């Protein structure tokens, strides 16, 4: 008999998906249900704070349906990058949600939990050995930045998922992981070749984004065999086409043909996409090129300050025609206020975001001189400490609102405030302190991601 | 001459990791895809001018299987920094809409 492996994929956990599509997919008796649960696109805040990126309610809705589907068929359910950033607090919160659903609904299964946190000592060792390479425009690492880093995760590959299966796991809640790794374990364990398995995993890792109607939230089903794979949506009305499937390898990726994984690269340059019926695409010729040595992508976040915002509407045409002069003077007056409060110039950052002019594109805005009849001015204050931010924030409104740039304000105000209080507390601000590739020993593909199992 | 917005079926931007912005420009058919691929309007030099970059920092791929031209540029700073304007990078395509494509 020909070996096949079927993977049913929804999109990021908590985004919602078509219930009908899930039912249809389950009718096809998949060998695995999987989805990712996070992304670095949400920014460093979620790694730095460990907060869940999506509400418990929306996560629970998706998780409950997927858990019941997987248990009905007695097939594994896997998710990775739990909670948004895949840090241990988020993994714990997601595991607790699974335990809660199991308790409420009387489900019994073996749960595997795989954290992805990495110690500063391991990073420092790689850094000293020259085995840590920055990716793109991240600030250079130094000892201070590493010391200030609050949370570090490594993107696990498929190996910890395979280790969980070897431990008899029915449900896997994993920390930070590469998206395709979440989907590849069962098919690789079935003995299918790496080329089609990894490319199929990549094509379905965004679920319904591989379909013509993403708004329908259709799950997708990949059927992998030794020669290639097919991919189709499970909800009626959606379709997978050569364009939508080929387009997925480009998504959020710098190189359209190559997607790096811990042990190699998914190479789709020679892949052939064929429309087999109006909703199904078959892909052949995909390759997985093994790397000389394993590497892990590392993400770290550090806190850089505390933010407060002021939102003000500007409607005075006499002010708007001198907006730059106004903002420069406003900035200088805040600097004087800071000085008077004993706050050093480098203890805070003040950013003016004039929506309606160039708040989106900044210095790249070609239409900067076309200001409309009103501006939404977002005044963005980040202090190094909460005390600095608090002290200076209460000066933002009065200083700007009373600044009489054209001499005809008559003691009135410039700022139309939509809210009271006018200053909004945004909490802590974080930045990526680590965005690196780290060389590792082969055994670290599993040893850095210890699997713990429990029977519920 | 035609604006790229009218020649392409879609133009989008987004993060490719925290340190790059990537643009995907999709075309309805082979003819339009080939016409723009061959055009100097979308050269690395033209993109560099539009986004204040060095041409050496601009990567352009013509992806024939899906009729997509992909352009990747470095971000000014890593995503989510203090002066971030668009942390997903989804609105950074706007200047591309008005590029003139010789017809």
Give the model confidence (pLDDT) of A361-375 as tens digits. 888 888 888 888 999
Q: Looking at chain A, which residue has its C-alpha nearest residue B71?
A: A254
Q: With contacts defined as CB-CB under 8 Å, which chain B residues touch A351?
A: 82-83
For residue B31, the enclosing domain spans: 2-98
How many residues are listed for chain B in this entry? 103
| B103: closest CA of chain A, how far (Å) | 24
Asked whether the beta carbons of residue A243 and residue B20 sit closer than 8 angstroms, the reply is no
SS3 A272: strand
Nearest to A448 by CA among A49, A149, A129, A177: A177
* Domain assignment of residue B103, yes or no: no
CB burial of residue A450 (10 Å; 0-12, 13-18, 19+): exposed
Q: Looking at chain A, which residue has its C-alpha nearest residue B83?
A: A351
Dist. CA A333–CA A399, nearest whole Å: 7
Q: Looking at chain B, which residue has its C-alpha nearest residue A138?
A: B78
SS3 A450: coil
Q: Which of residues 160-189 of A touch B (CB under 8 A)?
A: none
Q: Which of A135, A254, A435 lies at the smallest CB-CB distance from B59? A: A254
Q: Looking at chain A, which residue has its C-alpha nearest residue B88?
A: A41
Chains A, B: CB pairs < 8 Å: 123
Instruction: Confirm whether pTM is higher than 0.80.
Output: yes
Q: With contacts defined as CB-CB under 8 Å, which chain B residues touch A284?
A: none
CB A182 within 8 A of CB A174: yes
- Within an 8 Å CB–CB cutoff, is residue A139 touching chain B? yes
CB burial of residue A2 (10 Å; 0-12, 13-18, 19+): exposed
Omega before A421 within 30 of 0, i.e. cis = yes
∠ CA A31-A36-A42, nearest 5°, is: 175
Asked whether the beta carbons of residue A138 and residue B18 sit closer than 8 angstroms, the reply is yes
* Domain assignment of residue B14, yes or no: yes
Q: Which two tokens stand for residue B78?
A: 């890593």
For residues B40 and A98, the model is more confident at A98
Asked whether the beta carbons of residue A256 and residue B61 sit closer than 8 angstroms, the reply is yes
C-alpha distances (whole Å) from A393 to each of A71, A430, A439 are: 53, 19, 44
ipTM entry: 0.84
What is chain A's percent helix, strand, coil content, to nearest 5?
35, 30, 35
Q: Could you give the dihedral angle defined by the CA atoms of residues A192, A194, A199 and A202, in that order, rounded to the nearest 10 degrees? A: 100
- Within an 8 Å CB–CB cutoff, is residue A215 touching chain B? no
* Domain assignment of residue B34, yes or no: yes
- The conformation of residue A91, written as its DSSP 8-state character, comes to H
Q: Which of A137, A246, A364 lies at the smallest CB-CB distance from B52? A: A364
* Domain assignment of residue B57, yes or no: yes
Asked whether the beta carbons of residue B17 and residue A430 sit closer than 8 angstroms, the reply is no
| A44: closest CA of chain B, how far (Å) | 6
| B32: closest CA of chain A, how far (Å) | 15
Residue linked to tokens 């974080």? A430
Rounded to an integer, what is the distance from CA B42 to the centroid of its chain?
8
Could you give the residue range(s) of every CATH 3.30.70 domain in chain A? 303-432
CATH class of A303-432: alpha beta
Residue to substitute from A356, A364, A365, interface B, most B β-carbons within 10 A: A364
Domain total for chain B?
A: 1
Asked whether the beta carbons of residue A305 and residue B82 sit closer than 8 angstroms, the reply is yes
pLDDT at residue A136, as a whole number: 80
Residue A174: strand pairing partners? A114
pLDDT at residue A1, as a whole number: 52
CB burial of residue A180 (10 Å; 0-12, 13-18, 19+): buried
Q: With contacts defined as CB-CB under 8 Å, which chain B residues touch A360?
A: 85-86, 91, 94
* Domain assignment of residue B11, yes or no: yes
Regions of chain A where pLDDT drops below 70: 1
Q: With contacts defined as CB-CB under 8 Å, which chain B residues touch A283?
A: none
- The answer on pLDDT for B73 being more than 80 is yes
Nearest to A20 by CA among A183, A216, A193: A216
Query: Which distant-in-sequence residues (6+ apart) come within 8 Å of B34 by Cβ?
Result: none
Query: Which distant-in-sequence residues (6+ apart) come within 8 Å of A193 by Cβ?
Result: A226
């Amino acid at each position: 008999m020909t070996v096949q492996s079927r993977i049913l994929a929804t999109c990021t956990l908590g985004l919602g998906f078509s219930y009908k599509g899930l039912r249809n997919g389950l009718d096809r008796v998949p060998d695995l249900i999987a989805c990712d649960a996070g992304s670095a696109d949400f920014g460093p805040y979620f790694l730095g704070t460990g907060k869940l990126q999506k509400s418990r309610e929306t996560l629970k809705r998706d998780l409950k349906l997927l858990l019941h589907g997987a248990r009905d068929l007695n097939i594994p359910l896997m998710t990775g990058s739990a909670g948004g950033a895949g840090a241990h607090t988020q993994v714990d919160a997601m595991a607790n949600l699974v335990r809660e659903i199991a308790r409420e609904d009387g489900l019994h299964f073996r749960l595997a939990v795989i954290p992805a946190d990495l110690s500063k000592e391991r990073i420092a060792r790689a850094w000293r050995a020259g085995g840590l390479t920055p990716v793109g425009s991240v600030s250079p690492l130094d000892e201070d930045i590493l010391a200030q880093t609050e949370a570090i995760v490594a993107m696990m590959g498929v190996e910890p998922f395979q280790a969980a299966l070897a431990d008899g796991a029915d449900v896997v809640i994993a920390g930070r992981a590469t998206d395709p790794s979440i989907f590849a374990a069962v098919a690789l364990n079935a003995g299918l070749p790496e080329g089609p398995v990894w490319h199929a995993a990549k094509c379905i890792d965004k679920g319904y984004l591989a379909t013509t109607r993403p708004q329908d939230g259709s799950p997708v089903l990949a059927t992998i065999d030794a020669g290639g794979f097919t991919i189709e949506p499970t909800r009626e009305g959606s379709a997978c086409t050569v364009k939508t499937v080929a387009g997925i390898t480009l998504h959020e990726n710098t190189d359209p043909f190559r997607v790096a994984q811990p042990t190699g690269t998914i190479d789709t340059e020679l892949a052939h996409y064929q429309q087999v019926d109006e909703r199904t695409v078959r892909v052949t010729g995909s390759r997985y090129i093994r790397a000389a040595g394993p590497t892990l992508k590392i993400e770290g976040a550090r806190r850089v300050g505390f933010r407060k915002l002021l939102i003000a509407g500007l409607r005075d045409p006499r002010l708007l025609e001198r907006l730059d002069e106004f903002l420069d003077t406003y900035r200088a007056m805040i600097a004087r206020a800071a000085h008077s409060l004993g706050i050093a110039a480098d203890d805070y950052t003040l950013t003016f975001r004039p929506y309606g002019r160039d708040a989106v594109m900044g210095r790249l805005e070609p239409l900067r001189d076309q200001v409309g009849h009103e501006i939404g001015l977002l005044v963005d204050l980040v202090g190094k400490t909460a005390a600095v931010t608090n002290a200076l924030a209460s000066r933002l409104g009065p200083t700007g609102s009373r600044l009489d740039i054209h001499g005809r304000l008559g003691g009135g105000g410039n700022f139309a405030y939509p809210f009271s209080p006018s200053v909004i507390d945004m909490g802590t601000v974080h930045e990526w302190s680590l965005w690196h590739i780290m060389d590792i020993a082969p055994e670290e593909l599993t040893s850095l991601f210890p699997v713990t199992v429990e029977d519920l | 001459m035609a604006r790229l917005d009218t020649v392409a079926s879609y133009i989008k931007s987004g993060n490719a990791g925290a340190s790059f912005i990537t643009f995907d420009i999709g075309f309805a058919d082979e003819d339009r895809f080939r016409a723009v691929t061959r055009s100097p309007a979308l050269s690395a030099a033209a993109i560099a001018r539009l986004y204040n970059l060095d041409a050496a920092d601009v990567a352009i791929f013509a992806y024939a299987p899906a009729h997509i031209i992909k352009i990747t540029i470095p971000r000014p700073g890593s995503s989510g920094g203090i002066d971030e304007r668009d942390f997903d990078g989804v609105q950074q395509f706007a200047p591309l809409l008005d590029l003139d494509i010789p017809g």
